[in-house]
Structures are given as structure tokens and as C-alpha cells.
Amino acid sequence: MISIASGQTKGGTGKTSVSVHLSVTAAHLFQRKTVLIDIDVQRSATKWGMRRNAAGPVVISSDAASLPNLLGRLAGEFDFCVVDVPGHDLNALSNAAVNVDLTLLVTRPNQLDIEPAVEVCNVLKQFQLPHALLISQAPPRPSMKLASWMEAYSRQGEVISTMITSLAAYQDAITLGMGVEEYEPQGRAAREMRAVFEWLMWRLKEKR
């Protein structure tokens, strides 16, 4: 089972949105047996799962302390796992990071969000824990400044080239208990999520 954690130290960066849409893309487009583990006390991913009518992904509510055992139990049953990690909880983020195959640091493209995300990446790198930055809520037409920053950062750390754009489809789909792959399969949001999934598979295959 390939496991991904979606986290950041800040709230509201789009972690749960990425968790939800990535899990649907994995389950429905790429036909992976997928489980989404919600360890955020807000239970946003769990509530989204309760609004769903479609089969897959399986959504499980848990907590950071139970994560290691839970991942071990699920490993034989699922192909792909996304862990939705709460913001403002270093213990949960750290616990997830040491137990999954790769941690996505989901961050908005502004100084206040990126700064702590880079600090976390530096620590994860120090502990040799696979990770990557994922820019979320990006403007529809990214600025040269953002592109330049990404290029510069990519020389010292991993940042996924695909940015998650600030599109209504992401939130509209969540409201309906769907993922963008189901809500608007031909849309830009679905393409972005596919690209993120493909990048993850390529990166983790290379590391194995």
C-alpha cells in the first residue's frame, strides 16, 4: 500500500481538499483500492465521506496515535492511502510523516504559509523522510514571481510542478460529497489532480 499524508502546520491551506480529491482520483480514475484516513478532529473529510453516494474511497476516522497500527492493518487490504493531517498539530504531522511513504506539505503561495512549510521540509529532509511541497489555492495564471520561486526552491527541495489552482470546482465537488474527477472530469481541476497523482506514483516508484 502506498501511503501519502496531506499536511501543513497552518490551517486553511487546502490539505483536506487535496486529501479528498486525490483519494477520489486514485479510486475512480486509476482504479486503486483507496482509503482516506481522517485524523483531524474537525472531521471535515469524514463529513464529506458521509455525503457521498459513490463507492470508494473508504473513509476512516482515527487519530494520530492510532495511525501506525491502523496503517499496518490496512496495508494488505488497500493499494493507496491518504492521511488527512490537521493543521496546527506538529505531533500529528510528525507522526504521519514517519509512518507514510511521502508527506505532501500543502501550502498557499504566500510568504506566511510557505515560510513554515519550508521549515518543515528542512526538518523532514534532515530525518530523510520523503516529502514534497504542493502549492494550493494558486491564482489561475501564476505569476513569474511564483514560478521563479518554485524554480529556485526546486534546486534544494522537492516541489510538485503542478499547482492546485483556486477553482470553484474543488469546493463545489466537496459540497456535493464528490471529487473533481467525478464532478467535472474534463475540467482543469480534474487534470491537476491527475497530474499530482501521476507525480506521486512516479516519485514513489523511483524511490522503491
Q: Which residues bind another protein (CB under 8 A)?
A: 9, 68, 90-91, 93-95, 97-99, 111, 114-116, 118-120, 122-124, 126-127, 129, 132, 141-156, 158-163, 195, 198-199, 202-203
91 or 171: whose CB is closer to another protein? Answer: 91
CB of 1 to another protein, least distance (A): 16
Element at 38 (helix H, strand E): strand 34-38
97 or 173: whose CB is closer to another protein? Answer: 97
19 or 162: whose CB is closer to another protein? Answer: 162
> What DSSP line would sit under 104-161, residue for residue?
EEEE-SSHHHHHHHHHHHHHHHHTT--EEEEE-SB-SS--HHHHHHHHHHTTTS-B-S
Amino acid letter, 70: L
42 or 143: whose CB is closer to another protein? Answer: 143
132 or 178: whose CB is closer to another protein? Answer: 132
Q: Which of 149, 123, 134, 118 is nearest to 195 (CA)?
A: 134
CB of 45 to another protein, least distance (A): 21
CB of 47 to another protein, least distance (A): 27
CB of 18 to another protein, least distance (A): 17
Task: Give the integer Cα–Cα distance in Å for 175 and 149.
Answer: 33
Cβ distance 183 to 17 under 8 Å?
Answer: no
CB of 97 to another protein, least distance (A): 6
From first CA to last CA, the distance across the chain in angstroms is 12
CB of 201 to another protein, least distance (A): 9
Cβ distance 6 to 82 under 8 Å?
Answer: yes
36 or 100: whose CB is closer to another protein? Answer: 100
SS3 82: strand
